[in-house]
Amino acid sequence: MTPVLDDLATEAGSSCSLENYLALPDHSMDERIARARAALGSTTILLGHHYQRDEVIRFADFTGDSYKLSKAAAETGAQYIVFCGVHFMAESADVLGRAGQQVILPDLNAGCSMADMAEISQVEGCWEVLERMGLADETIPLTYMNSTAAIKAFCGERGGLVCTSSNARAAFEWAFARGRRILFLPDQHLGRNTGYAMGIPLEEMAAWDPWAVQGGQTKDRIAASRILLWKGHCAVHQRFLPSHVDEARTKHPGIQVIVHPECRFEVCQKADALGSTERLIALVEQAPAGTTFAIGTEIHLVNRLARRFAPEGKKIITLDSTGCLCTTMYRISPQHLAWALENLVEGRVVNRIQVRAGIKRWARVALDRMLEV
């Protein structure tokens, strides 16, 4: 251990209980995080999702969406991947990571409400119903990246794949070349918006409610469907309403309304453009100086874009003036990050996310198939 590591380990050793960190103010963590990062060097890579709070993401080596971050980490020589995001993202990093890499989630309570809306037992129950109806063989299961490793593995084992919001259409086309129907998990809005953009009418899409008998649908309705939409959603993006679009246009004539495809169908239909997080950023980057945007996505990203592009005369506001915070992403605090890093300095891996071998295998198959599209 180097002298710097020795000094830092001594300081951390007296207070490595998480409770001791949580009692301290955010700003008091800055120097400790920086020192731990320096001490750990290239052994550790820190990933920050776009929706992370500024106090955390500024320490990230890479920023981006979950798939981009997982791929970037796997391509490094780092032994430890500290993922400032949510649980399913850390799982994906473990699935895609190289042998020997270990993934750490600073707060295990940082989950995803959307991912939690599709439990593996519920999805298996849905599939059993499709099998009894004789419809499973003509159905291809697809899951959004925002799902658990178990759901990704479920799709991989049954001939399906994973998609992101940016390649969802290509994934749908891939699936329709192999089956008549798609079972899309877990976000109904992304599935509906993608299918409609491909020319599939709403009446050929049916929502499967995991809490209702037979998904709340008749056999004839399911058989007639081209897309069977799991009744899940993103708590942040579902908050945006059509009235928010109308209000933005009234207050700011000529404003460009751009939204994430996890938003409701009615909101997406009223918007000027929709796209993944990376696409929304690109739209702002490519716009001429003086353009005004109302963006329907998580508030931390919107505020960050507003500050970044203010010097270019671009005005950026959130589509919902009350703000849409991803509360689970917000759980990753400077205190949690400092605690995880200083434990690493002492040689302890805390909050490791490790996907079981069988699930990892099939989840990787589903992720690798995504590359085909």
Last residue of a domain, one of 292, 318, 344: 318
Confirm whether 27 is domain-assigned.
Answer: yes
CATH number at residue 56: 3.40.50.10800
Provide the domain limits for residue 314. Answer: 237-318
The amino acid that residue 308 corresponds to is R
Confirm whether 255 is domain-assigned.
Answer: yes
Token pair belonging to 153: 């593995």
Specify whether 230 is located in the same domain as 243.
Answer: no
Specify whether 134 is located in the same domain as 201.
Answer: yes
Last residue of a domain, one of 215, 235, 255: 235
Specify whether 180 is located in the same domain as 247.
Answer: no
Token pair belonging to 286: 């490519």
Specify whether 77 is located in the same domain as 62.
Answer: yes
CATH number at residue 154: 3.40.50
Number of domains the chain contains: 3
Q: Is the dihedral of CA 126, 128, 130, 132 positive or negative?
A: negative
Specify whether 182 is located in the same domain as 215.
Answer: yes
Confirm whether 312 is domain-assigned.
Answer: yes
Instruction: In whole angstroms, give the CA distance from residue 314 to residue 160.
Output: 42
177 CB-near residues (< 8 Å, 6+ apart): none
Q: Kindly give the confidence (pLDDT) of every residue in the chain, 373 residues in length, as a single tens digit, with 9 standing for 90 and above.
A: 333 333 343 344 444 788 889 888 888 899 999 999 999 999 999 999 988 989 999 999 999 888 899 999 999 999 999 999 999 999 999 999 999 999 999 999 998 999 999 999 999 999 999 999 999 999 999 999 999 999 999 999 999 999 999 999 999 999 999 999 999 999 999 999 999 999 999 999 999 999 999 999 999 999 999 999 999 999 999 999 999 999 999 999 999 999 999 999 999 999 999 999 999 999 999 999 999 999 999 999 999 999 999 999 999 999 998 767 787 888 899 999 999 999 999 999 999 999 999 999 999 999 999 988 8
DSSP state for residue 255 in the 8-state scheme = P
Token pair belonging to 161: 């794949």
Specify whether 130 is located in the same domain as 77.
Answer: no
Confirm whether 41 is domain-assigned.
Answer: yes
Confirm whether 31 is domain-assigned.
Answer: yes
Specify whether 137 is located in the same domain as 28.
Answer: no
Are 232 and 187 within 8 A, CB to CB?
yes
